[in-house]
Amino acid sequence: MRKFLYILTFTFLFSLLFTGAALAQSNTPPTDDEVNVVAHKLYCPVCESTPLDVCPTDACRDWREQIRSMLAEGKSETEILTYFEEQYGARVLAEPPKHGFYWLIYLLPPAIILAGAIILFRSMKEWTTAKVQAPKSNEAPPAKDDYLARMEEEIKKQK
């Protein structure tokens, strides 16, 4: 599933690069959709939690126009994202860049989840094996036939 997503992302990015290059050659202005694909991955520092592609403020409109002209110049998506990150800091990216300190966001949750899973499975193993080693004498002997079992059920129900 994840692998598939990676492949999908790569194909997507690759096709973007390709369209970027094609645009540069053909000189047609980038469409709104092409701008929005890039803008969707950016957040302006003022409008928190609103991705740039849908943000209605004037400032964000200007940013989108900037992306449009950069696309028209033949810049790739990665180049544009890097440009915005360098200009305004890492916070304009939809998620922290994968370098240095920021790795913590990606590594800590899986580590904690893994630790949790190991602890859980170990304790479950302990609980279940403890039961196997325990003497079986206190468990009810298996019912001899169906009738007995049904009787017991009935008695239980009437309690």
Partner 1 sequence: MYSEFGYGILLLSFFVAIYSVVAAVYGATNKSLALIESARRSMLLMFPLISLSAATLIYLLVNDHYEVSFVYEVTSRSMPTYLKVTAWWGGQAGSLVFWSWLLAAFASAVTIRKWDRDIEFLPWVVVVCSVTLAFFIGLVVFYENPFTRFWSVGGAVEPHMFAPANATLFTAQDGRGLNPLLRHPGMVIHPPMLYLGFVSFVIPYAFAMAALITGRTDDRWIRLTRRWSLWAWLFLSMGLVLGGRWAYDVLGWGGYWGWDPVEIASFMPWLTGTAFLHSVMIQEKRGLLKHWNMILVILTYDLVIFGTFLTRSGVLSSVHAFANSPIGPLFMVFVTTSLVVSIGLVIWRWPQLHSETEMKSMLSREALFLLNNLLFMSILVVCFWGVIFPLVSELFTGQKVTVGPPFYERATAPLFSALLFLMAVAPLSAWGHSTFETLGRAMWKSAAAASVVTAALFFTYTKSIGALIGFFLIALILFVTFQEFWRGARARQKAQDENFFTALFRLMGRNRRRYGGYIIHISMALMAIGILGIEIFQSETQGLLKQGESLNISGYDVKYRELASWDSKGEGVNYTRATLDIYQNGIYIGELNPRIDYYFDSQQNMTIPGNRSTLRDDLYVLLVDWQPVSSDGATFKIFVNPLVNWLWIGSLLFLVGVIFAAWPDKDPVEERTRASRQVSQPSSAD
Is residue 122 within 8 A of residue 69, CB to CB? The reply is: no
**94 versus 149: smaller Cβ distance to partner 1:** 94
**Residue 78 host element (H or E):** helix 77-88
What distance in Å separates the CA atoms of residue 75 and residue 70, rounded to the nearest whole number?
Answer: 6
> Least distance in Å: CB of 111 to partner 1?
10
What distance in Å separates the CA atoms of residue 119 and residue 126, rounded to the nearest whole number?
Answer: 11
> Least distance in Å: CB of 37 to partner 1?
10
Using CA of residue 53, residue 59, residue 65, residue 67, what is the dihedral sign? Answer: negative
Give SS3 for 158.
Answer: helix
**15 versus 31: smaller Cβ distance to partner 1:** 31
Is residue 42 within 8 A of residue 97, CB to CB? The reply is: no
> Least distance in Å: CB of 117 to partner 1?
6
DSSP string, 129-143: HHHHHS-GGGSPPPP
**26 versus 128: smaller Cβ distance to partner 1:** 128
> Least distance in Å: CB of 13 to partner 1?
13
**73 versus 125: smaller Cβ distance to partner 1:** 125
> Least distance in Å: CB of 72 to partner 1?
16
State the residues that interact with partner 1 by CB under 8 A: 1-2, 4-5, 31-33, 36, 41, 43, 48-51, 54, 56, 61, 89-96, 101-102, 104-105, 108-109, 112-113, 116-117, 120, 124-125, 127-128, 130-131, 134, 156-157, 159
